[in-house]
Structure 1
Amino acid sequence: MPNTGDTFLVTLKKTHLGWGTHRKTNSRPHISNEGYIPIPVKYARSFNITNMHNKKQSNVYKFSTSDGFLKDKELKASGNSIKGNIYAKNLHGNGDLKLLGTWFNHLQLQVGDVIKIEFVSPIEILLTKV
């Protein structure tokens, strides 16, 4: 589980901003406004950000954005780079894949923009556009 004060930065790419439409496969219909935040593996491991395969801790975090656009919502840590691995590779709205996309659109984020992910407690995240 992350510690209070654990922080990392990510630079957004086209796939993060347009997850539902910028896809390598046609495994599902294109859906606009979906978005996610990648978790670099070094931070997933060092901060112990895990997915559903780790039964010892939750992979759902309460979060807000520093601009106040989103408050007390939920992000889910999911995915992995190796099948069965417990370390998550992305954050997305828990049950709402458009949640981050609405914030990205509100801020008019573009490829190359940087997001700060800060754990204000082991179970709560603050997102900030840098």
Structure 2
Amino acid sequence: MLFVSGLGAFAAGPGDAEPAAPPFVGKSYSSTAVTGPQIPGGGPLQLTFTAANRISLFAGCNRHVGEMTVEGSVLRVGSLASTMMACPGPRAGADEWITALTSEPLTWYSVGHALVLSGPGTQVLLTEKYS
């Protein structure tokens, strides 16, 4: 198919299709195991992938939301906005834990209803949550 306009031409073909969304998009997960630095206060880490480029994270203190990109098995989290509650006690470092986890690209893979995210020194096993 060829589209012609006063600004030029654009050819669309089967190779121009958007890549398929990762299998976790539109789903929510809760951590069941963490290898490496543990979530302050015990977590769990709750993730929701609301759209192909959006992520929401909660580890017991403030909710963080932002953009993400997925290229193959690499997930990159962009700048995150968060609620601003004070979190004293054992959950005091939960927000910093999220920041440390998402500051570098993560590798991911899924098997059945499980999702594994791995970053430098940390691996998180998550299980799909059902509403």
TM-score where L is the length of structure 1 = 0.36
- Which structure would you say has the larger Rg? 2
Counting strand residues as a fraction of each chain, which structure ranks higher? Answer: 2
